[in-house]
Amino acid sequence: MTKPIYTDYFFDEPAYNTHDGGYVPLEVADAPEMALRIPPLLKPDKETATDTYYTVEAQAGETQLLPGKKTKTWGYNTSLLSQTLVFAKGKTMHIDLKNSLPELTTFHWHGLNVPGPYTDGGCHAPVYPGETKHIDFTVDQPAATLWLHAHPCPSTAEQVWHGLAGMVLVTDDQEAELPFPRNYGVDDIPLVLQDRRFHEDNQWDYNQDYDPDGVQGPTAMINGTINPYFDVTTQRLRLRILDGANRREWRLHFSNDLPFTQVASDGGVMPEPVKFTHLMLTCAERAEIIVDFGSVKPGETVTLYSDDTPLVKFRIHDYQREDVTLPDHLVDIPDPEVTPNMPVRKVVMDGMDEYVMIDGKKFNMQRIDARQQVGNVELWDVKNNNKTDSGMVHPFHMHGTQFLVVSRNGKAPYPNERGYKDTVGVNPGETVRIKVRFDKPGVFMYHCHIIEHEDGGMMAQIEAYDPAHPKTYKLMDMDTLMNAFAKERGIDVKDLHLAGMSSYDKMGMKM
Q: What is the pLDDT of residues 362-403, one digit of tens each?
A: 999 999 999 999 999 999 999 999 999 899 999 999 999 999
Count CB-CB contacts under 10 A for residue 30.
10
Q: What is the pairing mode between strands 144-149 and 108-110?
A: antiparallel
Q: Are 162 and 149 in contact (CB under 8 A)?
A: no
Selection from 286, 218, 320, 274 nearest residue 449 by Cα: 286
| Chain segment 106-131, per-residue pLDDT in tens | 999 999 999 999 999 999 999 999 99
Q: What b/e string do you get for 102-119 counting C-beta neighbours within 10 Å, with b at 16 or more? A: ebbbbbbbbbbbbbbbbb
Mean pLDDT of 53-57: 98
Q: Where are the domains of the chain?
A: 34-171
pLDDT at 166 over 70: yes
pLDDT interval class at 501 (50, 70, 90): confident
- Please give the pLDDT value at position 496: 87
pLDDT at 1 over 70: no
pTM of the model: 0.97
Q: CA-to-CA distance for 388 and 477, rounded, in angstroms? A: 36
- Please give the pLDDT value at position 482: 87
Q: CA-to-CA distance for 387 and 427, rounded, in angstroms? A: 9
In whole angstroms, what separates CA 241 from the centre of its chain? 10
Selection from 263, 163, 142 nearest residue 206 by Cα: 163
Q: CA-to-CA distance for 368 and 486, rounded, in angstroms? A: 26
- Residue partners of 254: CB distance under 8 A and separation at least 6: 260, 277, 291, 302, 303, 304, 305
pLDDT at 236 over 70: yes
Q: CA-to-CA distance for 20 and 282, rounded, in angstroms? A: 15
Topology of the domain comprising 34-171: Immunoglobulin-like (2.60.40)
The single-letter DSSP state of residue 478 is H
| Average pLDDT along the chain | 96
Mean pLDDT of 4-8: 96
- Please give the pLDDT value at position 497: 82
Count CB-CB contacts under 10 A for residue 415.
16
Mean pLDDT of 257-262: 98
pLDDT at 3 over 90: no
- Please give the pLDDT value at position 498: 84
pLDDT at 135 over 90: yes
Count CB-CB contacts under 10 A for residue 62.
13
pLDDT at 58 over 80: yes
